[in-house]
Amino acid sequence: MKILAVCGMGLGSGLLLRMQVEKALQRLGRQAEVEVADIGIAHALARTADLIVTTKELAERLGDVRARVITITNFVDLEEMVRKLREALEAS
């Protein structure tokens, strides 16, 4: 499974988002390749992703993508990340 963590610039917030996704996956007992992308290249990388994790605003800018998109309100809220990833993985 490949998860794309999308942020505005691909720097600090993208790294934080990736780390939170990895922690949530660990809690859920799941493994995945997690890649960080800025919004500029995210649409192209989304072609090979199974899940995309980002904010609502950036999800709207992504447009139509094949991967399921999970929107996160608070990047540092691990419980939100676990809950939303669990829901997405169970729906797959």
Task: Write down the pLDDT at residue 78.
Answer: 96
Three-class SS of the chain: CEEEEEECCCCHHHHHHHHHHHHHHHHHCCCCEEEEEEHHHHHHHHHHCCEEEECHHHHHHHCCCCCEEEECCCCCCHHHHHHHHHHHHHHC
What CA–CA distance (Å, rounded) separates 6 from 62? Answer: 9
Q: Which of 27-36, 55-64, 78-87 has the lowest mean pLDDT?
A: 55-64
49 and 70 Cβ atoms separated by less than 8 Å:
no
pTM of the predicted protein model: 0.92
Mean pLDDT of 6-29: 90
Q: Which CATH superfamily is domain 2-91 in?
A: Response regulator (3.40.50.2300)
